[in-house]
Amino acid sequence: MNLSPRHNKATVERWRMVGVVMWRGGLVFAAAYTFYWGAWRLILLLDRPAQITIGLAVALAGLGLVMVSLILERMQAAQTEGNLLDD
């Protein structure tokens, strides 16, 4: 690869990482948006009193936070553990 002095390998790698972060951020945003609207439509479909609707919304938000926390914890553990087949 013929890189000009302005575009050295470290700069290219940095921009590549920025692209990966933006791609993953967009994917997370799209998933959260879809989850939000799906949960909201489910709550409205139930046609319950306002207190139960708010309680369900808070419970679903808490469940979402727990799931995100578990996924992040598992990703971090996978990075520190490495391959489980290594001796």
> Is residue 3 a part of any domain in this protein?
no
> Is residue 50 a part of any domain in this protein?
yes
The Cα 15–Cα 32 span in angstroms is 26
Q: What is the pLDDT of residue 83?
A: 64
Under 8 Å between Cβ of 59 and 69: no
Give me the amino acid identity at 48: R
Q: What is the pLDDT of residue 42?
A: 80
> Is residue 1 a part of any domain in this protein?
no
Full-model pTM: 0.52
> Is residue 64 a part of any domain in this protein?
yes
> Is residue 87 a part of any domain in this protein?
no
> Is residue 23 a part of any domain in this protein?
yes
The domain containing residue 13 runs over which residues?
Answer: 9-81
Burial tier of 82 (Cβ tally within 10 Å: 0-12, 13-18, 19+):
exposed
Structural domain total, the chain = 1
Q: What is the pLDDT of residue 66?
A: 93
Residue linked to tokens 């469940």: 63
The Cα 60–Cα 58 span in angstroms is 5
